[in-house]
Structure 1
């Protein structure tokens, strides 16, 4: 029996590159949903809700597929940091983060569109930022322009130089798709990166 087609409900090149590491055949499709938080919604509730909403939006176009939805936010002292969108906001985010701990919450939903059955989880990952000068922050921003990244950095690139240390079970969670917890779920549907289980 063949596993259902695998769809990544995302246009993120970071998530696409992470999933490609597993060597599985998959397609991508844009979920195009409203990602604004609800009033008083926690970071964990937000990413879990959005991950499932993304998967369900794409399921309408792929009713026989297995769909991966994911969403991520960064939290500093309880406040949610989104994608900066531009230079000034990115500098402001990194100035706030310098010398502090930022917790990244990454929500994942694996949706079996055939049965409308959703498997969701949230994977936390902590980044302890170095004390950084304004010049260091501006130099980093000019080199990587991380305007589409929650927290204003790319951990897979020069962003690693911003950190004092990292804490978490799955380093791929920091980039946007926690593969360690995702792989066993994919295997349960016949998508086996290491071959037959």
Structure 2
């Protein structure tokens, strides 16, 4: 099976970071916002939260497209920052971002980025997880403030953009899927798309 007009490839996300990353695979796709409650369940580990939400996002969009595009192949993704077992979400505000970075100063943080691919018409649903280990430098309040004013990463889990100025806050990054930290692990995404029957360039 090849990527043809007979079915659609859909990214279940409105994230510009994921959209820009998926575009690197040179496959035509559209984006649809998933209607999913992202509230963690009681006692849910960060990695399990990321995997659950990625799959739920893909399934939700596949369901909404069942009538108009039943053959759609849908990609869902989610990222959860994990500080000693506690999930860190998107800060949303300057104050919360400053508090997150202060907590992560000098610490090792795991960024769990999950991706799921669903094609409901034939019951295909697979998921994968890329975990990135990030070691933060020791950050004083002035450094945190300068960074946040310069980059305003309030829509990023962990309050730092490693693809931008946020790299200066870090001591080390360890990953086997280089784009996972930005928001979509493309090596794993490509593997799942091939498993779903798509031919990648």
- Structure 1 residues 1-197: aligned runs within 5 Å: 2-3=2-3, 4-62=7-65, 63-194=70-201
Partner SS, residue 121 of structure 2: coil
The gaps in structure 1 that reach 5 residues or longer are: none
2:2 and 2:104 map into 1 onto residues whose CA distance is 47
2:183 and 2:82 map into 1 onto residues whose CA distance is 14
Q: CA deviation at 1:190?
A: 4.2
Contact 1:24 1:191 in 2 (8 A): no
RMSD over equivalenced CA pairs, Å: 1.2
Superimposed CA distance per residue, residues 19-47 of structure 1 (whole angstroms, 9 cap, x where no aligned partner): 01111100000002100011111111111
Q: TM-score, normalised by structure 2?
A: 0.92
Contact 2:117 2:196 in 1 (8 A): no
Q: TM-score, normalised by structure 1?
A: 0.94
Superimposed CA distance per residue, residues 46-83 of structure 1 (whole angstroms, 9 cap, x where no aligned partner): 11111111011101232220000001100111111110
Q: CA deviation at 1:2?
A: 4.5
The gaps in structure 2 that reach 5 residues or longer are: none
Contact 2:134 2:173 in 1 (8 A): yes
1:16 and 1:36 map into 2 onto residues whose CA distance is 23
1:61 and 1:106 map into 2 onto residues whose CA distance is 24
Q: CA deviation at 1:113?
A: 2.0
2:46 and 2:54 map into 1 onto residues whose CA distance is 12
1:144 and 1:123 map into 2 onto residues whose CA distance is 25
Partner SS, residue 163 of structure 2: coil
Q: Which structure 1 residue ranges, 4+ long, deviate > 2 Å from structure 2?
A: 1-4, 187-194
The count of residues paired between Structure 1 and Structure 2 equals 194
1:188 and 1:139 map into 2 onto residues whose CA distance is 45
Partner SS, residue 128 of structure 1: strand
Task: Name which of structure 1's ranges 136-145 and 179-188 shifts more when overlaid on structure 2.
Answer: 179-188
